[in-house]
Amino acid sequence: MAVAETTDKTFEKDTSEGVTLTDFWATWCGPCRMQSPVVEQLSDEMGNVTFNKMDVDQNPETAQKFGIMSIPTLLVKKDGQVVDTIVGYHSKEQLAKVLDQYTD
């Protein structure tokens, strides 16, 4: 399953059901470019989680709303509620372990 782009306009709808992980990133961010393939791999392996990414330069409102000051930041929501915020680069194993806590 591919990682979908989400925007300020679609974020709430895109993250309202089930377990979702949103990767807040920017094109100029080196660690974001390292994190992105890890998120892509997880999206192929974890069918029970919806994966999104949001460019913070294009969509400043959502990043501001959730107080995202550093990128990459991965926001985990379950049924529309924020349950975890992961700041900085993390390995596939680390992220899978976090997500497993929220999936049934």
3-class DSSP string for the chain:
CCCEECCCCCHHHHCCCCEEEEEEECCCCHHHHHHHHHHHHHHHHCCCEEEEEEECCCCHHHHHHCCCCCCCEEEEEECCEEEEEEECCCCHHHHHHHHHCCCC
> Does the pLDDT at position 76 exceed 80?
yes
> Which pTM was predicted?
0.96
32 is known as an active-site residue: yes
Catalytic: which of 32, 56, 63, 68? Answer: 32
29 is known as an active-site residue: yes
Catalytic: which of 19, 21, 29, 42? Answer: 29
Q: Among 3.40.30.10, 3.90.1150.10, 3.40.50.1980, 3.40.960.10, name the CATH number for the domain at 4-100.
A: 3.40.30.10
pLDDT digits (tens, 9 = 90+) for 1-56: 689 999 999 999 999 999 999 999 999 999 999 999 999 999 999 999 999 999 99
What residue segments make up the domains of the chain, in order of their start?
4-100
